[in-house]
Amino acid sequence: MAKKGRILSGHRPTGQLHLGHLEGTLRTWAGLQDDYECFFEIADWHALTTDFEETEALRENIEQVAIDWLAAGLDPERSVLFVQSDVKEHAELHLLLSMVTPVSWLERCPTYKEQRDQIGEEKTAGYGFLGYPVLQAADIIIYKADTVPIGKDQLPHLELTREIVRRFNNFYGNVFPEPQAMFSEFALVPGTDGRKMSKSYGNTIDLADEPDEIEQKIRKMFTDPTKIYQGDAGHPDKCPVFVYHGIYNKARTEPIKAACESGDLGCVDCKAEVTEKLLAALAPVMARRRELEADRDLVRDVLDSGAEQARQVAAATMEDVRAAMKL
């Protein structure tokens, strides 16, 4: 069957993934596997651009991401799942692209400035970090991917990729397609404190959490601060628990909303109901996760064979690149 195009997307090996990743990213990726040729990359070199000092956890973090991906339905029979550093061709292309990428483009990149403010000078002063988007461009175009499913936060990197492609093609001929962003239609899952779910905020529900941990996290979850006692009128539109109902308890959002607003439904019962639904939705993912935890050889085999498949495509592109550049 003819595919609609080729996808590459990736994630840094941040360790265990959470509900935000599952609902915002992984379900989208899993749903694309029949229609597109898919490459999904664990970007360990990208992790090093800021976390170059402590690397002890890197290998385990890579495997944890792989386990979460497989548990969430990324399927090695249909997609290529691989680790960036297993495909050295990315490094060669990164080097060559760095020749045609003006430093001013990189210094102007909004994520560069944001990250420097957020995580500080010490971790972001490196040459590698400045070149983060160049490496990301190499990741994408080495597979001649035309479609890149990403979050809005990654858009500046994709724009840079497109600019680099135009410049490269302009110098050396039409080697690379200009990739397009694809945005997920899935809901943003708020963290247990109502902010964006993020490991750095300590407000995540992880795919590796046990059901009783999840129950506890939801029991303590932030709700509408003006609803203190059962009987008080709530404001579901300001309550992150209500967002969870919207994702895991869709059929009941209207009655839940009405009962919260009238004060008939207290937060304890509301949370208990959504916890049950959430755990039911997560059960197959958690079960698969447990199997994979117990079979690390399988996980490593998936990544090894993914690297082999990725390498073939990447190596063929590098032949084109060297020929175009007369190397």
- Does residue number 10 form part of the binding site for ligand TRP (CB under 6 A)? yes
- Does residue number 101 form part of the binding site for ligand TRP (CB under 6 A)? no
Asked if residue 38 lies in contact with residue 128, where contact means CB atoms within 8 angstroms, the answer is no
- Name which of 9 and 204 has its Cβ closer to ligand TRP: 9
- The CA distances from residue 80 to 33, 42, 298, 305, in Å, are 10, 11, 15, 8
Angstrom distance (rounded) from CA 198 to CA 173: 42
List the x/- string, 204-243, binding to ligand TRP by CB under 6 A.
----------------------------------------
Asked if residue 22 lies in contact with residue 208, where contact means CB atoms within 8 angstroms, the answer is no
39-58 binders of ligand TRP (CB under 6 A)? 43, 46
- Does residue number 66 form part of the binding site for ligand TRP (CB under 6 A)? no
Query: What sign for the dihedral angle of Cα 65, 21, 18, 207?
Result: negative
Minimum gap (Å) between residue 247 Cβ and ligand TRP: 21
- Does residue number 11 form part of the binding site for ligand TRP (CB under 6 A)? yes
- Binding-site size for ligand TRP (CB under 6 A) equals 13
Element (H, E) at 171: helix 155-172
Phi, psi of 35 (to 5 degrees): -90, -20
- Name which of 45 and 248 has its Cβ closer to ligand TRP: 45
- Does residue number 9 form part of the binding site for ligand TRP (CB under 6 A)? yes
- Name which of 20 and 234 has its Cβ closer to ligand TRP: 20
Quote the distance between the C-alpha of residue 217 and its chain's center.
23
- Does residue number 90 form part of the binding site for ligand TRP (CB under 6 A)? no
125-154 binders of ligand TRP (CB under 6 A)? 136, 139-140, 148, 150, 154
Q: Report which of 306, 296, 284 is spatially closest to residue 72, judged by C-alpha positions.
A: 284
To which residue do tokens 């989208």 refer?
Answer: 28
- Does residue number 189 form part of the binding site for ligand TRP (CB under 6 A)? no
> Which residues of this chain interact with ligand TRP, rule CB under 6 A?
8-12, 43, 46, 136, 139-140, 148, 150, 154
